[in-house]
Chains A and B, each alone.
Chain A
């Protein structure tokens, strides 16, 4: 099949970008979207042109590295990752517009590559649990109801690709942050840092410059892992409860 690609080209973070149109005549319907760009890039390299920069890694739909905003939708027309999207989802002769994720907190590095380390900083702010070292505990020592475990696992399937931010008209990261808060808040192992986690992760999210949620639910519609907006409601509860009731201690310098 033959397609026309309109791709965002931008030299680096400092320079101004623009769309460039490419005619791609060697597309197989069985190619993944990324393989289609690979073929185009080989062609560009042969011609001595700069290949299109884009993020990718596992190409199995589990790492969250690929991005691409295709025809107005993050990861394209299917609710999957771009690497799992195949050219059979498009029609022969179609014009496909490819843009990078657009968010103040995700600055463009080059072409279609954006800097998503804001997500890492949010995770570092509180997305962890403290566990004791020592002997291996017995399996199933801590009882967790099956439904709760499933709910926590569903939240934990978030791969942090940022499609929620890309889809949201406010570039809000709340689906991501709420999934990361939920996966621990639901489980006994996450109880120790529960309040601190909600406070710190939300504070970091705001510091990164993501927008507020206006409940359009575009994130849920686009999330390749099907993360539910019930997580956002849970994050709201976790955060309000934490802010209203967290344990505040006066700390008076320890040491010098």
Chain B
């Protein structure tokens, strides 16, 4: 097993963990967005509440959800550890003038990631935490009683600073994805003339569309727009 530990403690192996957890989190974002868009439906939160109840009680979803939390933690902690290691590699003396021959997002993944992590803590406390451990009111749909998570979301998305915080953090997510999406493929060695344009295009579209769609939800709910 020594070779296995060597693999994942090498400078290349450490990056693989970042890439694999990153790709999983990208998939999670897509699923999460699909569910959240139901918040904009003009039905008083029925569709969203039923969906949230399903997500909160389906054993398979719950299992994946625990894995998702583990991956978020792994991605964050590993990222911080890698950043510290990489900083040390510069040596005792830094440059007077920093090199700027790369795109800004790629040089600031640590800062962007930290912003996203702070956002996640607030986000989980107010929504996931309240839904699972809080005492939210309930709604009855077709004889079934479900937690009224919609009311909780609707309350916060009327608070101005909360909406602004969401929009800023989604901008950070966009920059993080702009570099992270394609970077994950490069790290895994998946760089090929035939597929590079596809990966690059999908990555850029994803990095713009997903955070914008996420940000639209609180903005629309703040302004009272439904679809």
Binding site for B on A (CB under 8 A): 6, 17, 19, 69, 71-74, 97, 99, 102-108, 166-167, 169-172, 174, 202-203, 205-206, 209-218, 221-222, 229-230, 232-237, 239-240, 243-244, 246, 248
Q: Do A236 and B12 have beta carbons less than 8 Å apart?
A: yes
| Closest beta carbon of chain B to A134's beta carbon, Å | 36
Interface residues of B in 120-150 (CB under 8 A from A): none
The winner among B88, B91, B106 for most chain A CB atoms within 10 A is: B91
Total interface residues in chain B, CB < 8 Å: 42
Q: Which chain A residues lie closer than 8 Å to B188 at the CB level? A: 236
Chain B residues positioned under 8 Å from A206 (CB to CB)? 10-11
Segment touching A, from B55-63, B94-102, B215-223: B94-102
Tell me which residues across on chain A come within 8 A of B107, comparing CB atoms. 169, 216
Q: Which residues of A contact B7 (CB under 8 A)?
A: 240, 243-244
24 CB contacts below 8 A, A to B, read A19-B96, A99-B97, A104-B89, A104-B90, A104-B92, A166-B99, A167-B99, A170-B86, A171-B90, A172-B11, A202-B10, A202-B12, A212-B82, A213-B11, A214-B106, A215-B106, A215-B179, A216-B103, A218-B101, A229-B191, A233-B186, A236-B188, A237-B189, A240-B7
Residues of B within 8 A of A104 (CB): 88-92
Known: A214-B183, A217-B106. A205 touches B11 (CB 8 A): yes
Query: Once the chains bind, are B102 and A172 in contact (CB under 8 Å)?
Result: no
Minimum C-beta distance from A69 to chain B (A): 7
Nearest CB in chain B: distance from A79 CB, A: 9
Q: Which of B6, B12, B86, B95 sits near A99, CB closer than 8 Å?
A: B95
Question: What's the Cα separation between A222 and B101 when bound, in Å?
Answer: 7
Q: B85 to A212, Cβ gap below 8 A? A: yes
| Pair B86/A169 contact, Cβ less than 8 Å | yes
Main secondary structure of the interface of A (DSSP, over half): mixed
Q: Which of B12, B86, B183 contacts A215 (CB 8 A)?
A: B183
Contact yes or no, B187 A236, CB < 8 A: yes
Query: How far is A206 from B98 in the complex, measured between Cα atoms in Å?
Result: 24
A217 near B95: Cβ-Cβ < 8 Å: no
Q: Determine whether the beta carbon of A240 is less than 8 Å from that of B86.
A: no
Could you tell me the distance between the alpha carbons of A239 and B6 in the complex, rounded to whole angstroms? 11
- Seed contacts A214-B15, A214-B183; 6 additional CB < 8 Å A-B pairs: A170-B87, A203-B10, A212-B11, A215-B187, A233-B189, A240-B7
Interchain CB contact under 8 A, B109 and A214: yes
Interface pair A221/B96, CB less than 8 Å apart = no
Kindly identify which residue among B16, B89, B102 contacts A209, using a CB–CB cutoff of 8 Å. B89
Q: Which of B7, B89, B96, B97 has the most C-beta atoms of chain A within 10 angstroms of its own C-beta?
A: B89
Instruction: Give residues of chain B (177-213) contacting chain A, Cβ–Cβ below 8 Å.
Output: 179, 182-183, 186-191
**With contacts A73-B101, A212-B86, A244-B7 known, is A17 near B93, CB below 8 A?**
yes
CB distance from B2 to the nearest CB of A (A): 10
Q: Which of B82, B86, B100 contacts A72 (CB 8 A)?
A: B100
Q: Which residues of A contact B86 (CB under 8 A)?
A: 169-172, 211-212, 214
C-alpha spacing A170/B96, complex, angstroms:
16
